[in-house]
Amino acid sequence: MLFDHELAWKDPAIYKEIYVNSIAAPEKFWEYHQNTLFPEGNYNASFNCLDRHAKITPHKNAIIWYGDEYCERREISYARLLEMTERIASELIRRGIRKGDSVTICMPMTPESIASMLACCRIGAIHNVVFSGFSANALNERIFRSASKIVLTVTAGSRGGKMIPSLHNVLAAIGDMDVDVLLVDHVDDFPMDDGALSVEHMKYDDPMFTLYTSGSTKEPKRIFHSCGGYQLYSAMTFKYVFDAKPEDIHFCTSDIGWITGHSYITYAPLFLGLTIVIFSGTPMHPDGGRYWQIIENERVSIFYSAPSAIRCLASLGEESVRNYDLSSLKVLGCVGEPMNEAAWKWLFTNVGKEKCPIMDTWWQTETGGIILAPLHNVKYQKPGFASMPFFGVAPGIENEELIIKNKNWPGLSSNFVRDDQIYHTGDKAMVDDDGDFKILGRIDDVVNICGHRLGTSEVESVVNALGEIEESAAIGVPHRIKGQALCIFATTTADLDQDQKESVAKEITTRIRQDIGAIAKPDKIVFIPELPKTRSGKIKRNILKIIGKKQNIDYDAADMQSIINISCIKEIEHAMTHAIKM
């Protein structure tokens, strides 16, 4: 059996051969990789990510941290990260935390937060990371439902020029719950345990962490991942999809509050011994050059981000990247939402200089790691396609929904039984004649006009291709005759006056007619200053649906907790009264 990932990456025929083998003989395939990746048979993530490297390359940087301002930068070697982790682990033990206990981590993107996750793993505690920008209310739910005995936090953080009072939020969230709080501002305050602290032995199926889904359409759900399957799948997908090697400098712009920040900021890259660049700021503070400056300074080779961030940066124009040296990049990636063609081309041309393949990776909190990605060379790239399955995974389409026909790949969350039932993803997708998959948005977001079912991303892709448009969201609103009609919300790259808005609206309609068909002609186009988004950057189309129907927003609804920019809702309601009727 052939397993050479380097070749798979460069030659579609070799990919195909390995893929077919992986589906035909899954046990053999996964066993081979399990033995290769875990030679010591130890499934403790802290051991795998730290001890193995600290022994051989203690001085190599594990983490390069950038703060909210340009001048804030720190380097943390593998030896130092191990020491930080041991100090926190000792303190957790001193506070009575043991194997199997649940620990909530509410911290900004710092080396301390990564050390905190690894410290939990070290003693076998189950971490439950929550985004540090959450309100006390959203935090309360997640601490309470995870039954955490302790919350790890910092006094305060700073993100996008705004102070985040983490400790204050955590205390407000805890109220009179019986939960301990540990401040991890200075790990050196925690004494080392003089070697008394041992690495907890973890079995393949022992639980490793829990995480709440982002809740873009449904209520956040608590997902469990276990040690062996999760590490095996995240490390393998990282190695194969991004062609990751120990000498790579990896920069993923997600946050540890999401699964991307678990799999592809923390566990997979450290498992494989890379240097990771982490950033606790936002791409636009103090200006739109943050990502590019970091890539230039650190000679980043793998850059993994999200479509919403790319669209935002693309709206600043090509000049905003031109003066940075991005020649170190070898592969780019995006995740979280459908990547529209315009943003894809911008990234491919201006950031990757037409040399770097773009890994449009499709996956979910539940899958632990990447399921679909264009696992082939740059010349076979198809903009807007997440393309093909990772080894061992058998996707298909059933009633327009992306399904996975097998459940025996190791990344799948332990919430699911590994039976022979189909895994339903909840996403609308299509597959072309080459067998390449294209994701068209959440099934719940599909718009049905006169019986024609349109994925939101099909429409948004056309709208976003216009130079004047920064980002858009298409939703269905009830229509007397058509069943549903299309309403488009759009943000623009520059301020437009009423005449300009009308002409852009006309242009949008013409393009949609040409590219999709007259059936998709929008009824209303609404220009707004900002789209409502989840904290992980997903557009909250369900809120737009309520506004589109002119219904009242229930600000107390559980669903509202996941919105980061609540204040834009009033502006959107106002803009709705000036909607351009087509």
Residues that bind ligand WT7 (CB under 6 A): 213-214, 258-260, 335-338, 360-365, 386, 425-427, 439, 442, 536
**Smallest gap from residue 180 Cβ to ligand WT7 (A):** 29
Q: Report helix, strand or coil for 255.
A: coil
**Smallest gap from residue 338 Cβ to ligand WT7 (A):** 4
CA nearest neighbour of 261 among 187, 211, 190, 330: 211
**Smallest gap from residue 528 Cβ to ligand WT7 (A):** 22
Retrieve residue 260's tokens: 């991307």
Retrieve residue 49's tokens: 């990510």
Instruction: Compare residues 301 and 425 and give the one whose CB is closer to ligand WT7.
Output: 425
Pure H helices in 125-280:
136-145, 166-174, 227-241, 259-260, 268-271
Instruction: Compare residues 66 and 363 and give the one whose CB is closer to ligand WT7.
Output: 363
Instruction: Compare residues 82 and 454 and give the one whose CB is closer to ligand WT7.
Output: 454
CA angle 114, 311, 439 (to 5 degrees): 85
CA angle 322, 323, 328 (to 5 degrees): 85
Residue with tokens 């992986």: 22
Pure H helices in 154-221:
166-174
**Smallest gap from residue 246 Cβ to ligand WT7 (A):** 24
Retrieve residue 208's tokens: 């490793």
**Smallest gap from residue 174 Cβ to ligand WT7 (A):** 26
Instruction: Compare residues 439 and 569 and give the one whose CB is closer to ligand WT7.
Output: 439
**Smallest gap from residue 304 Cβ to ligand WT7 (A):** 10
**Smallest gap from residue 426 Cβ to ligand WT7 (A):** 6
Q: Report helix, strand or coil for 134.
A: coil
Under 8 Å between Cβ of 192 and 87 = yes
Cα separations in angstroms, 405 against 23, 31, 433, 581: 11, 21, 19, 44
**Smallest gap from residue 2 Cβ to ligand WT7 (A):** 27
Under 8 Å between Cβ of 466 and 504 = yes
**Smallest gap from residue 55 Cβ to ligand WT7 (A):** 32
CA nearest neighbour of 539 among 304, 256, 340: 340
Instruction: Compare residues 43 and 363 and give the one whose CB is closer to ligand WT7.
Output: 363
Instruction: Compare residues 68 and 366 and give the one whose CB is closer to ligand WT7.
Output: 366
CA angle 206, 207, 208 (to 5 degrees): 115
Instruction: Compare residues 182 and 373 and give the one whose CB is closer to ligand WT7.
Output: 373
**Smallest gap from residue 450 Cβ to ligand WT7 (A):** 25
Question: What backbone phi and psi angles, to 5 degrees, belong to 153?
Answer: -150, -175
**Smallest gap from residue 332 Cβ to ligand WT7 (A):** 13
Helix %, strand %, coil % of the chain (to 5): 35, 25, 40
Under 8 Å between Cβ of 43 and 206 = yes
Residue with tokens 């070898």: 330
Instruction: Compare residues 44 and 365 and give the one whose CB is closer to ligand WT7.
Output: 365
Rounded Cα distance, 367 and 564, in Å: 25
Residue with tokens 């808005």: 501
Residue type, 348: F
Instruction: Compare residues 64 and 373 and give the one whose CB is closer to ligand WT7.
Output: 373
Instruction: Compare residues 124 and 455 and give the one whose CB is closer to ligand WT7.
Output: 455
Beta bridge partners of 482: none
Instruction: Compare residues 157 and 333 and give the one whose CB is closer to ligand WT7.
Output: 333
